[in-house]
Structure 1
Amino acid sequence: MSARLLSFLNFFKSRLSRQIALWVFASILVIEGIILVPSYFRRENELLTQLEQLSRPTVDSLEFLLAQDVSDRTLFQEEVKNITKDSQVVLGVSIYQANGELIYTLGEQPQISLNELKIARIVHKQNFDRNRYDVAWTERHLGRDYILIVRHDASTVQPELYAFIGRIAILVIIISAFVASVTMLFLGVTVIAPILRLRDDLIAAGDALSKDREKPDFYSLSVKRDDELGEVMVAFNQMFQRVYKEIAQRKEAEEILRAEQEKSERLLLNILPAMIADRLKQGQINIADGFAEVTVLFADIVGFTEISSRTSPEELVKLLNKIFSAFDRLSEKHGLEKIKTIGDNYMVAGGLPLPCTNHAECIAEMALEMQQEIMKFRDECGKPLSIRIGINTGPVVAGVIGTKKFIYDLWGDAVNTASRMESQGLPGKIQVSRSTYKLLCDKYLLEKRGKINVKGKGAMITYFLIGKKM
């Protein structure tokens, strides 16, 4: 019982319930007020009629007296006094000749004028404060040459009217409150509660859509209604299903697009340095940057041509892929930038695209580890693998040119010299130029090879990198 009462009281918290109940309550009050106005005047007429009935014996006696000989005015006045003295409602009497001559007046004088008697046979009139009630009977009504006007005590009429209005008003308020409460209860059960539950469904739907949650168990899905609110619930569920599906499809498409973008990004970063890729994505074209000091390494697999003549293409590519993949891991390990591979030739540089001071040392470390990797592959595959490495340090220009199949490449004399250090080196050796030697001689063991004739450069003193000083 208490739970039902609490549920009913909860409907009063609803703004819509309160508004509807207020409108119902006010509407009943207005309707009853409209009905009450004629009821008020009808009840007043009933009470005044009762006054007339109470004064009827006195009026009948006066009419009988007027039917007699009234020539003896003194006797007539005494008779009038005797007739009215015992009446509880008659406060005054005025008697006129038909021509308007006053014959006699007793008590309070009525306020009906003779002019008001020219139209009607009987005239009723209340004074301003409505505690006196006058009734006049003309000669046309009495059938005599007299006019009789009687004043009644109507002081009890207003209190009776007020009591009547009070009872009606209390009854109207009780009825209005009852009807409003029943209306609120009915609307609460059939309309307000479902609307509030639908509101909760809307909130849950918003959370599910915005926070990527599973579909909630909506109240509106468990209710079947054949009215407009049921149609709203059906429309809500259809809308949610459509939006949820479209969002799921959009997210799926975004995931696919994100995966493709990441794949494209990885592919781009495999071709270009991250800084250069960002500049290209920003719309820059013909990127070219000058670097004052960069160390460039060229490496060539010695005897690879002979090996390829005795190995299937699939095995050859697989072997080369293993070797170069190992070199790629070394370049990442030492923070170097792989430039390109041409056949069995591998090119890597240090000091770009971000300049650094230890680029020669990083290249030297990678060169030494490249020799170790080749020795490991030679032992694994049983093939006579060897590597020839050339290193040079100097200024270069690096950048991207063209619009199709572009790569990050280097240009300059330092690049050509590094290529000559490799091509005119010895298998299993790491040949470095004098410029690189100056940067490594304090920390690394280097063996002077002496002067060699370098194509396009003439005689140059070169060195072999042996290892790192202990």
Structure 2
Amino acid sequence: MSSNWLKLFSLLRSRLSQRITLWVFASLVFIEAIILIPSYYRRKDELLSQLEDVSGEVVESVVRLTQQDMSTIVFEEEVEQLTRGSQVILGVTIYQANGQPMGTFGESPTLTFEVLQQADTPRVRKLQGQRYDVAWSAQELGKPYIIIIRHDASSIQPQLYNFTLRILGLVLLISVFVTGTTMLVLGKTVIVPILQLRQDLIAAGEAISQDKLNPNFYALSVQRHDELGDVMIAFNQMFQRISWEISERKRTAEVLRVEQEKSERLLLNILPEPIAERLKQNQSCIADGFTEVTILFADIVGFTELSERISPTELVNLLNEIFSTFDNLTEKHGLEKIKTIGDAYMVASGLPKPRPDHAAAIAEMALDMQQEIQHFNEKHHAELSIRIGINTGSVVAGVIGTKKFIYDLWGDAVNTASRMESHGLPGTIQVTAATYKSLQDNYVFKERGIIQVKGKGKMMTYFLIGKKFRIHSINS
């Protein structure tokens, strides 16, 4: 029994249990109160009726006395004697049927003949404090008299209090017992399963967040054939469905992430990152002007002759090896590869992000490209050389069209750089006067002189030999 009470008290900690307990207890008290109120008044009527039973004998005696032939003095003495010996009767008042008073003996009642005339019943009652007046009319007595008797009702109220306390105690005991029994039954059949389902919901959330496939749910271990059992079945089905949906979404998200990374890498292999971001923001036409950039064109000399001696596959593999090495150099020096045309390679510095050392970065790129061609010749026993042209100036860069995007450059500086390559000599790096001016303090040049350039006329050009501290360290 103690374990049941402990279980009951533990259940009361839940908000649902507290509400059920409160409503059950309040409902029982309300029902018992509805029953108590009529019981109270019935008990009150019973106690007052007992007083009337006592006074009824007095009334009969008074009626008999009025029928006897006796003097008024003797009649009054007889009536006083009837009232004197009773602990309940405090006083008697007698009226003739016409309202003529015949006398009052003992304590005077508050009921009067005028009150009786207004009453509709043959017997009139009035309880006032500890006094209880009862009037018998001539109609009820069958005699031409009206008798009013005052009773001592001081014992009525304590008896009613005791009766009320007993009923209230019984109501409380019944309410506590029924509430406790109800809570034990509901706790075992409803509240405990609901609390367990709440824990299952919390566990389900944790399992989903931690990718646990088979958590140990209470709902999985209980077989019920009622509405709560249907809820548990629905909960299990819901969890399985949500787990499957989340797994599918994660799998789809992972596939999309991989594909997006592939698309990002592919896009960044085609376009500079800032330009790619602007394209993703639906900018249809991108064009920017740059006042100071340096452009490099390079052409592999002897590659055409080599293509006549080897297979197309071998040719493409060799060209891929060379250009992949050049691509690594662009990453190393922070340059922007523009495009390749056949065996020609174009790279720019100072865009799309401007930089103050754009000419120096291109110079380092050109010198490294010469070294990589030498390494390639040693590796493959080839006799290739590279012809490089460099120019510094202003350009317009951007992306146009809607298909097969390419980040390209336009302007006289681009054409001049291309002419520096095409009018250069194999194995040399030919630069314009503008590039020479930017690099002359830190790099060694050899003046080629004035040459005739197609579309440009006569131009002063220089050959880049190397960086000054490199040349100095080699000579040392």
TM-score normalized by structure 2?
0.85
Which residue in 2 is equivalent to 1:411?
410
Counterpart amino acid of 1:190? T
Superposed CA deviations along residues 206-247 of structure 1, whole A, max 9, x for unmatched, are 5555x5653554433433333333333433443444344334
2:212 to 211, 214, 235: 214
Superposed CA deviations along residues 342-372 of structure 1, whole A, max 9, x for unmatched, are 1111111222222323222222211221122
C-alpha distance in structure 1 between counterparts of 2:72 and 2:189, whole Å? 82
Counterpart amino acid of 1:344? D
C-alpha distance in structure 2 between counterparts of 1:181 and 1:331, whole Å? 83
Range that drifts further, 373-382 or 102-111: 102-111
**Cα pair 2:80 2:106 within 8 Å, conserved:** no
Which residue in 2 is equivalent to 1:8?
8
Which residue in 1 is equivalent to 2:437?
438
**CA apart distance, 1:320:** 1.0
Superposition pairs of residues 369-388 of structure 1, within 5 angstroms: 369-388=368-387
**CA apart distance, 1:326:** 0.3
For 1:163, what is the secondary structure of its paired residue?
A: helix
Which residue in 2 is equivalent to 1:272?
271
**CA apart distance, 1:178:** 2.8
**Cα pair 1:117 1:123 within 8 Å, conserved:** no
**Cα pair 2:360 2:439 within 8 Å, conserved:** yes
Range that drifts further, 116-125 or 223-232: 116-125
Range that drifts further, 196-205 or 374-383: 196-205
C-alpha distance in structure 2 between counterparts of 1:301 and 1:115, whole Å? 138
Could you say if the C-alpha distance between residues 360 and 167 of structure 1 is closer, same or farther in structure 2, counting changes exceeding 3 Å? Answer: same
**CA apart distance, 1:116:** 4.2
For 1:173, what is the secondary structure of its paired residue?
A: helix
Superposition pairs of residues 342-357 of structure 1, within 5 angstroms: 342-357=341-356
C-alpha distance in structure 2 between counterparts of 1:59 and 1:122, whole Å? 14
C-alpha distance in structure 1 between counterparts of 2:138 and 2:273, whole Å? 122
**CA apart distance, 1:323:** 0.8
Superposition pairs of residues 239-254 of structure 1, within 5 angstroms: 239-254=238-253
C-alpha distance in structure 2 between counterparts of 1:301 and 1:133, whole Å? 137
Which residue in 2 is equivalent to 1:126?
126
C-alpha distance in structure 1 between counterparts of 2:441 and 2:426, whole Å? 25
What number of residue pairs does the alignment pair up? 467
C-alpha distance in structure 2 between counterparts of 1:260 and 1:120, whole Å? 101
Could you say if the C-alpha distance between residues 273 and 114 of structure 1 is closer, same or farther in structure 2, counting changes exceeding 3 Å? Answer: closer
**Cα pair 2:135 2:146 within 8 Å, conserved:** no
C-alpha distance in structure 2 between counterparts of 1:18 and 1:335, whole Å? 71
C-alpha distance in structure 2 between counterparts of 1:359 and 1:121, whole Å? 124
Counterpart amino acid of 1:317? V
Superposed CA deviations along residues 258-307 of structure 1, whole A, max 9, x for unmatched, are 33232222212211222222233333344333333332222222221222
C-alpha distance in structure 2 between counterparts of 1:152 and 1:401, whole Å? 118
Could you say if the C-alpha distance between residues 198 and 158 of structure 1 is closer, same or farther in structure 2, counting changes exceeding 3 Å? Answer: same
Which residue in 2 is equivalent to 1:337?
336
1:40 aligns with 2:44: no
**Cα pair 2:130 2:152 within 8 Å, conserved:** no
C-alpha distance in structure 2 between counterparts of 1:309 and 1:121, whole Å? 141
Range that drifts further, 162-171 or 425-434: 425-434
**CA apart distance, 1:334:** 0.9
**Cα pair 1:112 1:134 within 8 Å, conserved:** no
For 2:299, what is the secondary structure of its paired residue?
A: strand
**Cα pair 2:299 2:386 within 8 Å, conserved:** yes
For 2:128, what is the secondary structure of its paired residue?
A: coil
**CA apart distance, 1:118:** 11
**CA apart distance, 1:451:** 4.3
**CA apart distance, 1:328:** 0.3
TM-score normalized by structure 1?
0.86
Counterpart amino acid of 2:212? E
Which residue in 2 is equivalent to 1:468?
467
**Cα pair 2:83 2:106 within 8 Å, conserved:** no
For 1:299, what is the secondary structure of its paired residue?
A: strand
Which residue in 1 is equivalent to 2:21?
21
Range that drifts further, 442-451 or 398-407: 442-451
Could you say if the C-alpha distance between residues 58 and 328 of structure 1 is closer, same or farther in structure 2, counting changes exceeding 3 Å? Answer: same
Could you say if the C-alpha distance between residues 91 and 355 of structure 1 is closer, same or farther in structure 2, counting changes exceeding 3 Å? Answer: closer
Structure 1 vs Structure 2: percent identity of aligned residues?
60
Counterpart amino acid of 2:39? S
**Cα pair 1:132 1:155 within 8 Å, conserved:** no
Superposition pairs of residues 24-173 of structure 1, within 5 angstroms: 24-55=24-55, 58=58, 61-62=61-62, 64-66=64-66, 69-95=68-94, 102-110=101-109, 111=111, 113=113, 116=116, 123=123, 125-129=125-129, 131-134=131-134, 136=136, 138=138, 141=141, 149-173=148-172
Which residue in 1 is equivalent to 2:233?
234
Superposition pairs of residues 293-312 of structure 1, within 5 angstroms: 293-312=292-311
**Cα pair 2:133 2:148 within 8 Å, conserved:** no
Which residue in 1 is equivalent to 2:197?
198
Could you say if the C-alpha distance between residues 358 and 137 of structure 1 is closer, same or farther in structure 2, counting changes exceeding 3 Å? Answer: closer
C-alpha distance in structure 1 between counterparts of 2:460 and 2:82, whole Å? 164
Range that drifts further, 262-271 or 111-120: 111-120
Structure 1, unaligned stretches of length 5 or more?
Answer: none
